[in-house]
Amino acid sequence: MSNDFPAAAARVLACFGGVGATLSGARISAELHVSRTAVWKQIRVLRAMGYGIEALGRRGYRLTATAAAPLPTEVLPRLRTTTFGRRLHYRARTASTNLDLERLAAAGAPEGTVVVAETQSAGRGRLERGWFSPPGGGLYFSLLLRPAIEPTRATSLPLILGLAVAETLERCAPGLRADVKWPNDILVDGRKICGILCALQAETDLIHHIVAGIGINVGLTRRDLPAALRRTATSLRIAAAAEVNRAALLADLLLALEQKYLVWRDQGLTPFLPALRARDALFGHEIEVERASGKVRGRADGVETDGALRLRLADGRIELVCSGDAHLR
Ligand code: BT5
């Protein structure tokens, strides 16, 4: 585990042991051999990170709530996976978790390694687009995968990751309905709540690794959204008035991702086709797909076992689209 959780704040936090504990400032300063002022400073740092710490006058401080932030200290005790997230790197701020994880991957990090950030200054979407990643409002993380499969099979990966996200969001916000929009979006009420970016490092026959970046809007309010996203984006708070603990969400999601990934790695997309069909945001709609090679229009007809979108053209023929951006017409 590595993180840039401020070391001094972490030591103060460790003194408390757990939620509900009360400690005097004198005791903390004696235990850590620092001044009372230094303790107070770290209490303020912890509060700014989302920890609830009540000041009780001469009796000291009480830890009332742990932060909902996706800190390793919050995520790891909740984690029920075998490998996903067991190596968890936390960044209070970074340019892009995908870039951080690419570096770790190049240095030999194992499958399941995760980088999670409180905020990203240059969060990435596909094709050099950006991902709006303000602090406190979202879950931004990247997951390292090293499947021993042919590179062409990786096309369908974002769909099963999307399925894991959709199912997990519904579990943590009862009443919410989440759909998967080919190739890499999760929609709630027709608006984007999550985007997925899978970057593949491969040779013709061999995948070196895949960095799967996932961004989820959690606590953002409509006012937090920039004008350009106000009509197209949503969050768990906007859509379901849900107050979601991001650490718990990450732990739950990593389990769902691991379970789906292992089945997908061995059996491909086929076992997931019924679940995808039930959540297909495009199925039956007239759509336009922008591809590198140009636009194509038709009626969305589900996905193939390799993850390609089936598009029924005006003349009834089915065109298979491997990549692109789909829009409802
Ligand atoms: C995606 O790209 O949807 C992939 C987004 C992946 C973000 C994660 S966060 C953790 C990891 N680290 C990174 O640097 N990236 C990954 P795309 O399909 O190209 O969609 C990008 C478009 O979505 C933008 O051009 C905006 O229109 C819109 N958008 C940007 N931020 C958004 C947000 N927070 N919520 C909803 N829509 C957003």
- Report pLDDT digits (tens) over 59-80: 999 988 776 788 888 899 999 9
Q: How confident is the model at residue 182 (pLDDT cuts 50, 70, 90)?
A: very high
Please identify, by atom number, the ligand 1 atom nearest to the C-alpha of residue 125. 2
Please identify, by atom number, the ligand 1 atom nearest to the C-alpha of residue 195. 3
Token output for 46? 């912890």
The rounded distance, in Å, linking the Cα atoms of 83 and 87 is 8
Q: Is the pLDDT of residue 36 over 70?
A: yes
**Cα(39) to centroid of ligand 1, in Å?**
39
Which residues does a 6 A CB cutoff place in the pocket of ligand 1?
A: 96-98, 120, 123-127, 129-132, 140-142, 184-185, 192, 195-197, 213-215, 217, 229, 233
**Cα(130) to centroid of ligand 1, in Å?**
6
**Cα(285) to centroid of ligand 1, in Å?**
23
Q: Is the pLDDT of residue 85 over 50?
A: yes
Instruction: Write down the pLDDT at residue 6.
Output: 73
Q: Is the pLDDT of residue 239 over 60?
A: yes
- What's the chain's average pLDDT? 93
Token output for 131? 């991902």
Q: How confident is the model at residue 110 (pLDDT cuts 50, 70, 90)?
A: very high
**Cα(131) to centroid of ligand 1, in Å?**
4
The model carries a pTM of 0.88
Parallel, antiparallel or unpaired: strands 191-202 and 61-65: unpaired
**Cα(133) to centroid of ligand 1, in Å?**
9
The rounded distance, in Å, linking the Cα atoms of 153 and 210 is 12
Instruction: Write down the pLDDT at residue 243.
Output: 81
Q: How confident is the model at residue 261 (pLDDT cuts 50, 70, 90)?
A: very high
Please identify, by atom number, the ligand 1 atom nearest to the C-alpha of residue 123. 14
Q: Which of 91, 131, 220 to mutate to test the pocket of ligand 1 (most atoms within 8 A of CB)?
A: 131
**Cα(44) to centroid of ligand 1, in Å?**
32
Please identify, by atom number, the ligand 1 atom nearest to the C-alpha of residue 122. 14
Q: How confident is the model at residue 5 (pLDDT cuts 50, 70, 90)?
A: low
Question: What share of the chain in percent tops pLDDT 90?
Answer: 78
Q: How confident is the model at residue 283 (pLDDT cuts 50, 70, 90)?
A: very high
